[in-house]
Copies of this chain bind each other. A is one copy, B any other.
């Protein structure tokens, strides 16, 4: 279990140190699996650029508050110091902040809920990781997805948590018309797909994110772009809803799947590359399916398609490193 040997923990007093700032930045980087403070910094800069350019500064400030809160929460709990020093308490939290002010209006109650939700992700991660530990997989960003869903669905039932920017619940998908896309537009949309990992719809942010990834690991940057490119192409080929394509909404989960399967949980080689491409392709259909499933609620699927696709390709525990032996012994 995740915390069974957690005799070595971080204490509340340790929050007032420069190491805490580093762990917050690592938390930002870990959204795309990079334990790297510079990557984390580029991601935060990208969030601020995108949030201000689209006139939604609260998204950026929500992200800052929630990554600090979720990271700090780990200092109060009996959790492994190693996890804290790898930024693993922050990556779910930072996404909570991005999501809250993208979909919910600004009230004091929204801030209260945001802080609670960010705190929750830290121990819900331990809860989910404990459940998944016997299978040698982890909970990815699902603690963020699950807890944010709770509050977004709650926003439908509470006057003081107004779901102002959620879609209108509906039974019928309006796919809209479908137009051709120019080459320049196509490239911009690839970067928008990457930027939507943090719920930002801005190609410049996407470029900053990719630079941040390349600083940490070339394969991370490459697989982010491969994931976003393949998913965009498939969304166009199968002609999904044009607004979703234009907002990069088919890209972010596929970006994460690409990094997860292409270079994080498997060694990069030709076999794992084929595996990662299949995983990215599958992510697109899971994304479309979840959009349809959540349509009657007007609730977004967040990064759930990434989690589900990655689990489907990770759980078989295939080992593509040594072609001679068939599978990894667990």
Contacts and interface: CB of A to CB of B under 8 A. Distances in A.
A12 interface: no
A130 interface: yes
A17 interface: no
Copies of the polypeptide in the assembly: 3
B171 A292 contact: no
A6 B327 contact: yes
A148 to B, nearest CB: 10
Contact of A288 (B158, B170, B241): B158
Interface stretch (A39-47, A57-65, A213-221, A316-324): A316-324
A317 B2 CA distance: 10
A2 B291 CA distance: 32
A319 B79 CA distance: 11
- The range of chain A's interface size is 35 or more
A165 interface: no
A131 interface: yes
A126 B316 contact: yes
A127 B326 contact: no
A93 B172 CA distance: 30
A158 B238 contact: yes
Interface in A130-160: 130-131, 134-135, 149-154, 156-160
Contact of A317 (B130, B169, B292, B325): B130
A6 B130 CA distance: 27
A251 to B, nearest CB: 15
A152 B286 CA distance: 10
A330 B109 contact: no
A116 interface: yes
A238 B159 contact: yes
A109 B78 contact: no
A161 interface: yes
The 5 closest A-B pairs by CB, nearest first: A153-B289, A127-B315, A159-B239, A78-B326, A154-B288
22 contacts: A1-B330, A3-B317, A6-B327, A78-B326, A79-B326, A113-B285, A123-B313, A127-B314, A127-B315, A127-B316, A130-B316, A134-B134, A149-B289, A153-B290, A154-B292, A156-B173, A157-B175, A158-B240, A159-B240, A160-B237, A161-B238, A296-B297
